[in-house]
Amino acid sequence: MEHTLTTQPHTGDRPRPAKNYLNAEKGIWSWMTTVDHKRIGVMYLVGVLSAFFVGGIFALIVRLTLLTPSHKLFGKVLITAQTYNRVFTLHGAIMVFLFIIPSVPAALGNFVMPLMLGAKDVAFPRLNLASFYLWVLGAVMAVCSMIFGAVDTGWTFYTPYSTTTDGAVTLMTMAVFVLGFSSIFTGINFVATVHKLRAPGIGWFDMPLFVWGIYSTAIIQVLATPVLGITLALLALERVFSIGIFDPKLGGDPVLFQHFFWFYSHPAVYIMILPGMAIISELIPTFSRKTMFGYRAVAYSSVSLALLSFIVWGHHLFVAGQSQLANVIFSALTFLVAIPSGVKMFNWLGTMYKGNISLETPMMYAISFLLLFAIGGLTGIFLGTLSTDVHLTDTYFVVAHFHYVMMGGTVIAFIGGLHYWWPKMTGRMYKEFWGQVGAVIVFIGFNMTFLTQFFLGSQGMPRRYYNYLDQYQPLHAFSTVGSWVLGLGLFLTAANLLASLRKPYDAPDNPWGGTTLEWQTSSPPITHNFEDQPVLEKAPYDYRPEPVAH
């Protein structure tokens, strides 16, 4: 029988298939050996959310320590300076390498992208599983380095401190090395998938913008991560064999480490933010019921951000003894980043303009993203400007800036995307009311925590310091209280999502009236994704009414 899929909103008018990807095979072994991109995505999701939880606990400990300048709670010193250094290092390393980098691509992207392309799987399913196991191995190594002596270098592992401090720095850098290969494998897989596995009828400019974002991210993962790998391998060799590359005592150059590190880690910032932007490009047209404004511009801006990300690393070294000429060049190049970011921002707003906006939970996160990312992006211009950066460098202003981009941007978009695709992934609807309450509390808590830190930084509070002057205490205390509000909002959100899992399947195939292909299969999808090979009939985000329905 010919079964034609249309882009008409399907709202569960087809019977739910008895077998889906969740219950087709049973038992833990069937999960551990699966090559189904959807199951691997779910396993990644569980993994990265666990890492987010652990990293979040460390963040709360950092904030609690800074509640008072004496670090005392009920008359006792909470944690020592040494422990404090380890806690903020673990917070940063876990959040960056174990959570944000794999969060959107490896968890949500793995699940959604092949569906959006109408494919049965990613290009290399076994490589996909290998990538997950490398992530697990890296996570275990990172946890071991916490147990065996911890690491107190900060997540950037700057030399010469990282070559001289004791603790498990070598093990931690090896953990990040392994995680890097996990990321490379995901990237290779996704680039090949986008090139070769698009369903018939899907040209490059028929792909959903989420796929464009994930594709651009994958390119950065492939091209930047090997440099981090070799840098951390050199750092480990420097510690073990004293090879004299970064250690000035042996004729090495510690600033070389910074160059190498940021040659990866600045593109890595875009590995983190591009997928966040990609999610927003899905949420805004869906919940505004309007065609994406400037589709091609948004698609190209993702690719141009990926390319620009490789030539701005020097703005992390403005005060590290880089030449004046290099500083000026890197500063000018950094300003270019504002162009594609602005293109995206204005296209999202243009999409919402005169749209039929409905404020469901994912859309509330999308609007949070727009507000927070605007602040994060604009404060980036302060830091890209040489004269202001000299004053603001290594202060809480920088901390606030990148939390606005990384958490206010990526994490907020990730949670929005999680709500958006939750019905598809689990087959269950969460409670809309509590989802919205969670979104509001997260937004308030986030701003309490981090807006404060812009003031702290502009008044001169250095980052990573354990001690501070009494004059900073009110702002520090306010920020700490904000972190509790933020924690409460996230806890509520997690509880709301997890509570939905106890219900039987109740999600329709297309709860939001989305136009991309993932909404045209059942919720949850069957193991091979689609009953029949889907054929794209209309461009994504086409919300014009269908003249004749099939």
Partner 1 sequence: MSTTSVDIHQPHGHPDDPHHQHHFATMEQQFDTSKIGMWLFLATEVLLFGGLFVGFGLMQARYPQEFVEAHEHLQRPLGALNTVVLLVSSFTMVMGVLSAQRNDKKKLVLFLILTIICAGIFLTVKYFEYSHKFEEHLLPPRWYHAQPGDTVKDPYTGQISHGYGTFFAFYFMMTGLHGFHILVGMILLAWIAVRAHRGEFSKEYYTPVDLIGLYWHLVDLIWIYLFPLYYLIK
The binding site for partner 1 (CB under 8 A) comprises 2-4, 119-121, 123-125, 127, 184, 187-189, 191-192, 195-197, 200-201, 203, 206, 222-227, 229-231, 234, 237, 241-245, 250-253, 256, 260, 263, 528, 532-533, 535-539
CA-based end-to-end distance of the chain: 14
CB-wise, 2 or 166, nearer to partner 1?
Answer: 2
Closest distance of CB 183 from partner 1, Å: 10
SS3 call for 396: helix
CB-wise, 12 or 125, nearer to partner 1?
Answer: 125
Torsion of CA 425, 426, 432, 433, to 10 degrees: -130
Closest distance of CB 235 from partner 1, Å: 12
Closest distance of CB 191 from partner 1, Å: 6
Q: Are 44 and 106 in contact (CB under 8 A)?
A: yes
Closest distance of CB 243 from partner 1, Å: 4
CB-wise, 259 or 463, nearer to partner 1?
Answer: 259
Which residues partner with 76 through β-bridges? 73
Q: Omega into 524 within 30° of 0, i.e. cis?
A: yes
CB-wise, 148 or 204, nearer to partner 1?
Answer: 204
Radius of gyration of the chain (CA): 23
Closest distance of CB 238 from partner 1, Å: 9
Q: Are 296 and 205 in contact (CB under 8 A)?
A: yes
CB-wise, 253 or 394, nearer to partner 1?
Answer: 253
Closest distance of CB 76 from partner 1, Å: 45
Nearest by Cα to 97 from 261, 307, 213: 261
> Quick one: three-class SS letters along 64-80?
HHCCCCCCEECCEECCC
Q: Are 232 and 174 in contact (CB under 8 A)?
A: yes
Closest distance of CB 135 from partner 1, Å: 17
CB-wise, 56 or 187, nearer to partner 1?
Answer: 187
SS3 call for 152: coil
Closest distance of CB 127 from partner 1, Å: 8
CB-wise, 224 or 306, nearer to partner 1?
Answer: 224
CB-wise, 174 or 448, nearer to partner 1?
Answer: 174
User: What is d(CA 114, CA 108) in angstroms, rounded to the nearest whole number?
Assistant: 11
**Letter string b/e over residues 378-400, b meaning 16 or more CB atoms within 10 A of that residue's CB:** ebbebbbbbeebeebbebbbbbb
Closest distance of CB 253 from partner 1, Å: 7
Q: Which residues have CB under 8 Å from 319's CB, separation 6+?
A: 389, 390, 393, 394
Residue with tokens 């699966």: 34
Closest distance of CB 533 from partner 1, Å: 5
Torsion of CA 368, 371, 374, 378, to 10 degrees: -120
CB-wise, 159 or 493, nearer to partner 1?
Answer: 159
**Letter string b/e over residues 405-422, b meaning 16 or more CB atoms within 10 A of that residue's CB:** bbbbbbbbbbbbbbbbbb
User: What is d(CA 342, CA 330) in angstroms, rounded to the nearest whole number?
Assistant: 19
CB-wise, 4 or 387, nearer to partner 1?
Answer: 4
CB-wise, 13 or 532, nearer to partner 1?
Answer: 532
Q: What DSSP string describes 341-394? A: HHHHHHHHHHHHTT------HHHHHHHHHHHHHHHHHHHHHHHHSHHHHHHHTT
Closest distance of CB 64 from partner 1, Å: 39
3-state helix, strand, coil in the chain (%, to 5): 70, 0, 30
Cβ atoms within 10 Å, residue 196: 10
CB-wise, 134 or 366, nearer to partner 1?
Answer: 134
Alpha carbon 535 to its chain centroid, in Å, reads 31
Closest distance of CB 491 from partner 1, Å: 39
